[in-house]
Amino acid sequence: MTLQVLRWVVAAILTMTVAIGVLAQQPPAQQPPSQQPAAQQKGRGGGGRGGSPVAPLEESGFRPIFDGQSLKGWDCDPDFWRVENGAIAGESKTDHQPPQNIFCIWRDGKPADFELKLEYRLTGASSGNSGFQYRSIERPDVAKWVMQGYQADIDAQQRYTGQIYEERARGFLALRGRLERGSHCRPRKPPHPDLEWPCDEPAHRRR
């Protein structure tokens, strides 16, 4: 199973950890059909109507966190991670798997409020599953590159893609398309002192 991260960009104001799990084929997103310029029509005063659509505005404030050529700024196990064709690729095989989930961790910054945009492709086994960690902590007491915290889940069968999962903690938090509130979380202490569970606040919403 292979996970390829084709493009990473992040918009940040100022602590987070971004990491991707090691692991199929998601078809490329369909592009809208090209639009032909509408025929110009004469209105009152000779003004034209229709014409070419306005081009989308370029988003600002984003910067790349992957240079497309190397793993500079990233920390991961080279036995499972590499750069291939301009993408970060993580691969596991039936006879070559890590003993537990491990991640490729971005260490080249500590943003606070942020938006993360990326493109990914899962190839190989139809049961491929992976995810993107954020607002997470490392667990060196378990093993190197092991993480705990929120995960944007992805899988080849599109069963879990888009939901919020908590790695090494509560598990499924918010399924795709459902609104969940923090009051539904388990009333117990966080599994690690560096994690907080705001059980009295609204949690996450995913579509």
pTM tops 0.85, yes or no: no
Q: What is the DSSP string of 45-99?
A: GG-EEEESPPPPPPP-S-EES--SS--TTEE--TTTEEEETTEEEEE-BTTB--S
164 pLDDT higher than 60: yes
d(CA 101, CA 120): 18
pLDDT at 41: 43
Average the pLDDT over 28-33 and give the result. Answer: 42
Under DSSP, is residue 130 helix (H, G, I), strand (E, B) or coil?
strand
pLDDT tens per residue across span 114-163: 889 899 999 888 888 899 999 899 999 999 999 999 999 999 999 999 99
Residue 43 has pLDDT above 80, yes or no: no
Domains, in order of start, for the chain: 2-26+61-205 (2.60.120)
The residues near 26 (Cβ < 8 Å, ≥ 6 apart) are: 120, 121, 122, 154, 156, 158
Which residues on neighbouring strands pair with residue 60, listed in sequence order? none
Strand partners, 64: 9
Which is more confident, 168 or 192? 168
The predicted pLDDT at position 180 comes to: 81
